[in-house]
A and B are shown apart, each in its own frame.
Chain A
């Protein structure tokens, strides 16, 4: 194609026409003809050409709109179209967005004290923020595509659940153990897959996630199989239970007991865990190991030529990501009070990976925003009932057209001499596994 592709009216109409044609072919059988069992059990069919025509019309109009959007706010020529005033305004917002979000998050239990639904949703969002930040180490920094992240979430959850129910160990003892065990499994997974790259790595990690789930389902004597582990102890405030008993926290503080206390405690617990993940990741990025992860994502061969042990570097990335997944899993178990293999399906891995990709690989703020958008957005569209998934999917497609490299599309350097300049994501590699 030439440097300046023709994108006039005729191009628009042509694209829209082709899309409409494809839609017509696809929908003509799916929508245009409907078969039903008649009263005597015989097969009857009826035509629905009206619906078919409207669908094709929507596709036609939709392609024009999307193409226009792509030309106006798409990645090509974005900078020129946005006036400098808005650009500086956006950079101002960008600078204060993270602290503002953090302050807001800290105040959520105060603002929404009586709204259990919002608090539960906030806890859920924070769990995914933490998972996203954990996976970000593996996918965003080290560039290793991991489709089985849920395995470490499961290991963390079952570690806490089994240790707590069998030995009665407290949450605060089990939490680090869950992280260590998950990291251990991360290393175990890391060893065989280190030679694999790209698609092959993705497939093997996907399989690993399934293996862990199948082991949990089938090892009935230990894990309870499909029945899961019930009666997982609730977390205590460093030994003081959060219930309405006489030695509960409420009684000790001399305030009236409310079940919201526990929710708020859980909220701050996951917030602290997520912030720990964030803090450690930010620190690690500025240490040699973090730089080696990013270098590995950029060019593995060059890393070897510089004397970097790519094997251990990959292993540490896997282990670090897995450890945070394990922490999140332990939290999940203590929050739910009951876990079963159903909570650890591939869909969870895909969701967390989608959060990392949507956020902009490697960006901490982007991952947090993406988790908010994905989990919060999913709840937001609840009113649409049947069309929820459709609208949600379309929203994601639109976002990826608008920002193909994620919400936060630049990389901040880890060290600078005079001035830290954001690096355009066009230059940053995604890694090959």
Chain B
């Protein structure tokens, strides 16, 4: 893509959420939420526990069908996809939205490499002629598999797990599992990467490495939507922050704007502003 085209794209939206509402019986988890995520930027969705962040994620990634509202994904080529009408695996397959989970969901009994190969299932299925070509060992499939292994190797190298490629994913350390899950999501070659608390349970050094990884993914052209509690990560890497509380949006803007917003501070720590300011600033 040329430089001019890049600058054209700045400011355009990859994801537009409009008046999203999600009800579970009588409980309203998300109410009329509207926000947008910019292309090739990192958008963070933050808020106190129970604010409805993961519900929004599950609506975007097809695990829930929203009660109301629209979710539009605009691809680089201008294709617009209504995510609220797609469901289940089609979100990942057709809309190219990948996600990770708050509680890591790897395939623990498969090796790190196998995990990344499973992520390339759809491309490999096509290349294996829906198994028939692969069964007879056609060269078309062999080449495709080699390419898939190369892509997986590249990602293992980027997340610093190349020497653990043949180890079972369940045997990896917690932080390694987090990074492997991100690598696995990236192996689906997504347009939008949704990360649900990727820094949860990481120590300071691992968080810093994660921030670097996410910035490099963004710089390579993948848009990121992020839920995160670790303010040091959020404030450092986010281009845009959306703050939720009790299912509604209470603020949005750049990290600096959000940090100074009294509503955000109140939502996080009641009304005791001094303490809240201390927490927010501790993040930078």
Contacts and interface: CB of A to CB of B under 8 A. Distances in A.
Contact of A416 (B93, B135, B165): B165
Contact of B170 (A304, A413, A427): A427
Interface in B166-191: 166-168, 170-171, 184-185, 188
A287 B101 CA distance: 26
Interface stretch (A7-15, A61-69, A291-299, A346-354): A291-299
A304 B105 CA distance: 11
B111 interface: yes
Nearest to B131: A289
A420 B113 CA distance: 11
A308 B99 contact: no
B114 A299 contact: no
Contacts of A310: 88-89
A243 B3 CA distance: 81
Contacts of B122: 307-308
Taking each of A288, A415, A425, which has the highest tally of chain B beta carbons within 10 Å of its own beta carbon? A288
Given A417-B165, A417-B166, A305 B106 contact: no
A305 B105 contact: yes
A429 B106 CA distance: 11
Contact size range, A? 35 or more
A298 B110 contact: yes
B124 A417 contact: no
B128 interface: yes
Contacts of B107: 294-295, 298-299, 302
Interface in B92-126: 92-93, 98-99, 101, 105-111, 113-114, 117-122, 124-125
Contacts of A420: 166
Contacts of B145: 415
Contacts of A419: 166
Contacts, number: 141
A261 interface: no
A419 B163 CA distance: 11
B109 A411 contact: yes
Given A295-B118, A307-B93, A287 B166 contact: no
Contact of A287 (B61, B90, B108, B128): B128
A304 B165 CA distance: 23
B134 interface: yes
Contact of B166 (A309, A413, A427): A413
A196 interface: no
Interface residues of B, number: 47
Contacts of A416: 111, 113, 165-166
A195 to B, nearest CB: 12
B209 interface: no
A418 interface: yes
A316 B91 CA distance: 22
A301 B153 CA distance: 24
A413 B114 contact: yes
A417 B119 contact: no
A427 B111 CA distance: 11
B122 to A, nearest CB: 5
B33 interface: no
A306 interface: yes
A310 B134 CA distance: 20
B149 interface: yes
A415 B89 CA distance: 24
B89 A423 contact: no
A309 B94 CA distance: 11
B124 A299 contact: no
B111 A308 contact: no
Interface of B: 61-63, 88-93, 98-99, 101, 105-111, 113-114, 117-122, 124-125, 128, 131, 134-135, 141, 145, 149, 153, 162, 165-168, 170-171, 184-185, 188
16 contacts: A288-B125, A294-B114, A295-B118, A298-B108, A302-B101, A302-B106, A302-B107, A304-B89, A305-B61, A305-B98, A307-B92, A307-B93, A417-B166, A420-B166, A421-B111, A428-B108
Closest 8 CB pairs of A and B: A428-B109, A307-B92, A307-B93, A298-B107, A427-B170, A288-B124, A302-B105, A287-B134
